[in-house]
Structure formats: structure tokens, C-alpha cells
Structure 1
Amino acid sequence: MILSISGVVLLGVIVFLFFRKDGLKLSHALVSALFGFYLASSAIAPSIKAGGASLANLLGGIKI
């Protein structure tokens, strides 16, 4: 749960920065958000979630 909330916050910050700095239009952000909602309810959603968890585990295991 914490990972998904952190991911949402991180992606929200990235979208906000694109909106402010790189000329992302509000319509593009809305279309991306709607795409994400529809993708989350599709059959591929568990695979995407597993890939995100795998990436988080990989990044969490890196020792600096």
C-alpha cells in the first residue's frame, strides 16, 4: 500500500513538472490519467503491478 501511494505521488509530481516546465497540456494529462484508469481495470493490470513490484525490489536491493 505504501509503495503504491508513493508511486502515485511520484508520478503526480512528474506530471506536474512536465505541465509546468515542458509544456504538457492539461488535455494530455487528462488523457493520460484516463488511460491509466482504464488500464488498471484491464486484464494486463496484474502483470503491470508485478513488474512495478519487481522493479521496486530491484531498486530497494541496491547498496550504495
Structure 2
Amino acid sequence: MAVSLSTVVLLGIALFFMLHNRVLSPSGATVAALFGFCLASTGMAPTINDAIGSIADSLSHIG
């Protein structure tokens, strides 16, 4: 768990700086994909899925 969490933090920081500098090359896309896969393996995955589901549900009721 500690290794995956530190990997998520490092990839998140790298992705933040790539997006902040507007440099999303193929290597940046790889970092983004790795960040997503690592984030999905942490304990935050159910919370993220619930948040996305509630946002989608809210948007379906608006329109």
C-alpha cells in the first residue's frame, strides 16, 4: 500500500507539472495512464467511483 501510494503521489506531481506547463506529449500521456492505473489500486478507488457516479446522476437529472 505504501509503495502504491508513493507512486500515485509521484505520478500525480509529474502529471500536474506537465499539465501546468501544457506539455502533454506521448510520454505525458503514459504518465497520465500510469497515474490512473496506480490510483485505481489505492483505497481511493471506491470514493472516486462513487463521486463519478453521483456527478453522472446529477447531470442526467439536469437535462
- Normalised to the residue count of structure 2, the TM-score between the two structures is 0.61
Structure having greater relative contact order (Cα 8 Å, sep ≥ 6): 2
RMSD: 1.4
Unaligned runs of 5+ in 2: 1-21
Counterpart of 1:35?
35
Q: Tell me by how many angstroms 1:24 deviates.
A: 2.4
For this pair of structures, how many residues does the alignment match?
Answer: 42
In the TM superposition, residue 35 of structure 1 has moved relative to its aligned partner by 0.5
The runs of at least 4 aligned residues of structure 1 exceeding 2 Å deviation read none
Uncovered stretches (5+) of structure 1, i.e. residues with no partner? 1-21
Give 1:50 deviation, angstroms. Answer: 0.1
State the identity as a percent.
Answer: 45
Partner of 2:44: 44
